[in-house]
Structure 1
Amino acid sequence: MEKTMVNEQPTENIMGTLPVGKLLMKMSVPMILSMMVSSLYSIIDSIFVSRLGDNALTAMSLATPISSLLACITVGFTVGMNAVLSKKLGEGDSETANKAAGNGLMINWIVAAIFLVFGLFFTRMFYTFQTDVVEIQNLGVQYTSITCIFAFGLANQTMLERMLMATGKPLGSVFSLFTGTIVNLILDPILIFGFFGVPALGMRGAAIATVAAQFAAASVALGFNMKVNKEIKFGLSMFKPHGKTMKEIWAVGLPAALQQSISPLMIFGMNQILLGFTTAAPAVYVIYVRLQSIVLIPIWGLRNTVVSIISYNYGAGYRERIKKIIRICLIATIAITCVGVVIFQSIPSQLLALFNASGEVLDIGIVALRIISFVFPFSGITLILGAFFQALGKSMNTLMVSIIQCVLMLVTATLLAHFGSVYTVWFAFIITEVIVALIAGLFMRNVNENVILRIGKGV
């Protein structure tokens, strides 16, 4: 039976004392539920927008790289804040942990300001570069300009929710995300189609509903932090720039942000390849991305949770706990993703029906979902290994894996598009994800030998 450990403090955070299995359930289940709720943002938008026509859905697909880039960068820096904050709590350094929270917020504010400038001046250029279809351009500009100008809502929401996770208070994060999703669900049909005297705003309505939901969620997360998060002392002092803390956040957060930002780049590239066949193909792709997120949400939730848990135990020197956490996470990842494969193979047409798919979108979509779904176990393994790298101070491994993934995907898809059809392009996912998972596994073996086995204290 696992021992309860005390880190020479009167009381220690549950991340260092609770039995590993129970800890993962306590921390990851609320995070997974909250991320499932969060994913409904984009899924709900896509379902309602699909009722505006195929061009609207294609416009949303072309918008995905920007909205994903914003989310990825802000999440990346929260990973850095999370790792530093959790590690400092594990070391008993509450003062530096508090500085990590404040400095992390400031970094995300800078990111939001950059996207505000993009939303004001560069969205039209972004769409004219991708397509000559004026309707798709106009619809995309309507959506993206609003979500970028009001990026501060997402920046605050992301960081404030992760503060709750980093300090072992996942329930607050669940309530925050649940609030945002309910707001989005209520406002989407009202603002898109026009109800209760509100004019129909179409794509603008979808964007307004999204940013309103993000600000609502951020407000709830702030309230929970102020009320129940005793590890963080909110005040002006936490926002004073602290060079060493900022450097530590950047050391983990920047590679994480860059690593996650490669995914939007890959989406952008795939959209250009698919547009070479038909405008229906990017619509299929955005449907796949939305549906894939449902399958991988448990892995993303586990990933985001385990960064804090492993970082804490790494700071505290608990080697055996770290090894056990890694083992359980890998088993859970394989089991969850295999279920996803079975679902996608069994009911692809029903899944596409959620997005009002018909005609060419339906024909291409059924084949695409059945082919791509085989990559889920490999994608899941790569994702969870990336969390281990980040928590153990090897974020560059995660970045390298993502770069390889992006380059390999685009090269393979380009070759398959040149020599085949829109149906053969989907095999690029299988080729890429299998190779990338093997590379990530080799990196993990090196991390095990050079980091985990050298941690000074075991149980």
Structure 2
Amino acid sequence: MKKNIDLLHEPILPALTRLALPIMATSLVQMAYNMTDMAWIGRVGAGAVSAVGSAAMFTWFSQGVSSLARMGGQVKVAHSLGRGDREEAGKYAQGALQLGILFAVIFGILSVAFRKQLIGFFNMQDRQIVRDAEIYLTITCGLILFSFLNAIFTGILTASGDSRTPFVANVIGLVINMVLDPFLIFGFGPIPAMGAAGAAIATVGAQAVVTAVFLWFARRDTLVFSQVHILERTSRRYIRQIIKIGFPAGVQTMIYSGISMVLTRMVTDFGDTAIAVQKVGSQIESVAWMTADGFAAAINSFIGQNFGAGKTERVKGGYKKAAWIMAAWGLGSSALLIFGAEPVFRIFIHEPEVVADGIIYLQVLGLSQMFMCEEILTEGALAGLGKTMQASVISVIFTAARIPLALLLSATALGLSGIWWAITLTSVVKGFVFVGYFVTVMRKLPPERETCRQL
């Protein structure tokens, strides 16, 4: 079976499915990374989960920084390939990788230098939890380069129609992470028990192996990476285009994670272990949103190439089919979270009071899964059209509304669950707004063969 899928000519549903399934599987593998860490750390105790959960907020924030390079590179590579210009696609890939390396070095240095202040933001009282969080932050963010490179490689390969290579690379990383976790967290023979630090080392080690696998594949690629010369200076024209497309998406992710940090700070008012509820609950919920994010990457590349080639009807048809698939996935995820809340949450934590709050978290967030899936899918579709700014504005406005709404609801009898209700309600609204906006955009798309002149 050929590795690169012809997104411009193959029937829409088979092409989209063949591209999306490995990406969704890759997202599930990445989710398994996090859940493996959480399952082992949960055996140490809720305090260790809180430490990892608070520090991991900054690795999430880093994804926004990497998106500045990844999203711009992915979209422009797709547009270039849609026009049949492989040399230009290679220049965009080269620029994205160079920007990613630069951003990773700067982010790593700042994270390590200001680790005490960053963890101090959450105002946790337990000194051991704070120390563990600082160590976890130092390791994962100090060595964030591998995570950045992996995200950019994945975006570029997906844009070229190759979603199998990222899947293979991430499966290899998952296996290594699963092997390292128990040895480094609990110790074995001469290896001392390292707790949260062990989980961080296992994660970074696995990410480094994934980067090595990507480099091995890139050396054999003839479509895009054969045009990449990482030590050569990339023209400012390409860098500007990458940043123009990637900046809104990157800032959106950083603001989104910043808002989540504020909400996490609010969660700590209900006790340090309340962070454990949020962290474990969000990892379980990631079954839905990470898979939706993977499908969004597929629709991004599909729409990007067809928009670049002026195939408007394929753009519309691809989005409609993807929207129905994501609706079904979202409903299935809701059923899992609502009806399987207790047994699923107990896989990670066993303290009765934490489990009780965790069940409420999953059931409340379960109500919004379909809307969240449609929101994520549509963001990817808009990015494929180059409309990252519009998607970011919508997302930031309604995500920011969570803070005042959470303050209001948590001050009522709902207490901690009021924060979860704020997240759910805004997700529902965002789902409706995003789909409505994209339908409007589709109606205004230019006819066939005129699209590429609009780039």
Task: Give TM class, smaller chain.
Answer: over 0.9
Residue identity matched to 1:347: G
> Could you list the runs of 5+ residues in structure 1 that have no partner in the other structure?
1-11
Distance change >3 Å, CA 133–CA 149, structure 1 → 2: same
- 1:108 maps to what in 2? 100
Q: Please, which of 92, 114, 120 is the counterpart of residue 84 of structure 2?
A: 92
Aligned to 2:416: 422
Partners of 1:389 and 1:398 within 8 A in 2: yes
- Preserved CA contact (<8 Å) 2:7 2:16: no
Spell out, residue by residue over 1:147-202, the C-alpha distance to the aligned partner (whole angstroms, 9 max, x if none): 11111111111112222222122211111111111111111111111114211111
1:380 to 367, 373, 383: 373
Q: Name which of 263, 268, 274 aligns with 2:261.
A: 268
Aligned: 1:80 with 2:85: no
Listed one character per residue, the Cα deviations across residues 243-266 of structure 1 (whole Å, up to 9, x for unaligned) are: 111111111111111122233112
The aligned amino acid for 1:437 is G
Of residues 231-240 and 271-280 in structure 1, the stretch that sits farther from structure 2 once superposed is 231-240
1:279 to 272, 275, 285: 272
Pair 1:444-2:438 in alignment: yes
Residue 146 in structure 1 maps to residue 146 in structure 2: no
1:123 offset after TM fit, Å? 0.8
Cα separation, 1, equivalents of 2:284 and 2:347:
10
Q: Does 1:233 align with 2:248?
A: no
Following the alignment from structure 2 to structure 1, what is the Cα–Cα distance between the partners of residues 203 and 67?
Answer: 17
**Contact between 1:314 and 1:455, CA under 8 Å: does it hold in 2?**
no
Match of 2:401 in 1: 408
Partner residue of 2:388 out of 391, 395, 420: 395
SS in 1 for 2:304: helix
Counterpart CA distance in 2 for 1:228 and 1:445 is 37
Opposite residue 42 of structure 2, the aligned amino acid is S
Of 196-205 and 226-235, the range deviating more from structure 2: 226-235
Query: What is the CA distance between 1:454 and its match in structure 2?
Result: 7.6
| Aligned counterpart in structure 1 of residue 427 of structure 2, from 428, 433, 444 | 433
> 1:453, CA displacement in angstroms?
5.5
Does residue 117 (structure 1) correspond to residue 101 (structure 2)? The answer is no
Q: Counterpart in 2 of 1:58? A: 50
Q: 1:320: which partner in 2?
A: 313
TM-superposed CA distance for 1:235, in Å, is 4.9
Q: How many residue pairs are counted as aligned between the two chains?
A: 447
| 2:250 pairs with 1:250 | no
Query: One-letter code of the match for 2:145?
Result: F
Structure 1 stretch displaced more, 435-444 or 235-244: 235-244
Cα distance in 2, alignment partners of residues 263 and 291 from structure 1: 19
Partner of 2:403, secondary structure, is: helix
* 2:138 paired with 1:160: no
Structure 2, unaligned runs of 5 or more: none
Q: 1:46 to 1:296 in 2, by over 3 A?
A: same
Question: What one-letter code is carried by the residue in structure 2 that aligns with 1:59?
Answer: A
Q: Which residue of 2 aligns with 1:365?
A: 358
Indicate if the aligned counterparts of 1:176 and 1:221 stay in contact, CA closer than 8 A.
yes
Secondary structure of the corresponding residue to residue 51 of structure 1: helix
Q: Which amino acid aligns with 1:97?
A: A
Indicate conservation of the 8 Å contact 1:90/1:316, yes or no: yes
SS of equivalent residue, structure 2 residue 422? helix
CA change 1:457–1:247 in 2 (3 A) is closer
Q: Which amino acid aligns with 2:425?
A: I
For residues 395 and 19 of structure 2, the distance between their equivalents in structure 1, rounded to whole angstroms, comes to: 26
Q: TM-score when scaled to structure 2?
A: 0.94
The Cα offsets for residues 131-160 of structure 1, whole Å up to 9 and x where unpaired, read as 232112101001010111111111111112
- The answer to whether the 8 Å contact 2:245/2:388 transfers is yes
Q: Name 1:37's counterpart in structure 2.
A: 29
Letter in 1 for 2:185: I
Judge conservation of contact 1:348–1:366 (CA < 8 Å) in 2: yes
Shift of 1:409: 1.1
Q: Does the CA contact (< 8 Å) of 1:86 and 1:97 recur in 2? A: yes
Query: Greater CA deviation, 365-374 or 324-333?
Result: 365-374
Q: Which amino acid aligns with 1:81?
A: G
Distance in structure 2 (CA, Å) of the matches to 1:255 and 1:452? 24
- Asked if 1 retains the 8 angstrom alpha-carbon contact of 2:51 and 2:129, the reply is yes
What do residues 97-139 of structure 1 show as CA deviations (whole Å, max 9, x unaligned)?
1100110001111221122112321111112232232112101
Q: Which one of 297, 302, 315 corresponds to residue 290 of structure 2?
A: 297
RMSD: 1.9
Q: Tell me, in whole angstroms, the C-alpha distance in 2 between the residues paired with 1:274 and 1:306.
A: 35
Quick one: percent identity of the two aligned structures? 23
Structure 1 residue 403: deviation in Å? 0.8
DSSP 3-state at the match of 1:233: helix
Which deviates further from its counterpart, 84-93 or 194-203?
194-203
Distance 1:205 1:361, change over 3 A: same
Mapped contact 2:121–2:265 kept (Cα < 8 A)? no
Relative distance call for 1:437 and 1:161 in structure 2 (3 A) is: closer
**CA contact 2:337–2:362 (8 Å) conserved in 1:** yes
C-alpha offsets along residues 258-306 of structure 1, whole Å, 9 cap, x if unaligned? 1222331122111111111222221111111101111223211110111
Partner of 1:3: none
Q: Show CA shifts across 1:418-437 (max 9, x none).
A: 22312333211232112222
Q: CA deviation at 1:76?
A: 4.7
Distance 1:389 1:448 in 2: 10
Separation in 1, partners of 2:34, 2:256: 16
Report the equivalent of 1:126.
118
Determine if contact 2:288/2:330 at 8 Å carries over to the other structure.
yes
Structure 1 stretch displaced more, 157-166 or 299-308: 157-166
Quickly say closer, same or farther: Cα 1:457–1:440, change in 2 above 3 A.
Answer: closer
Q: Distance in 2 between the 1:423 and 1:104 partners?
A: 41
Distance 1:441 1:158 in 2: 26
> Taking structure 1 as reference, are residues 89 and 280 closer, same or farther at Cα in structure 2, changes over 3 Å only?
same
How far apart are the structure 1 equivalents of 2:130 and 2:104? Answer: 23
Give deviations 1:424-457, integer Å, cap 9, x for gaps: 3321123211222222233213322333558627
Cα gap change, 1:294/1:415 in structure 2, threshold over 3 Å: closer, same or farther?
same
Aligned residue identity for 2:290: I
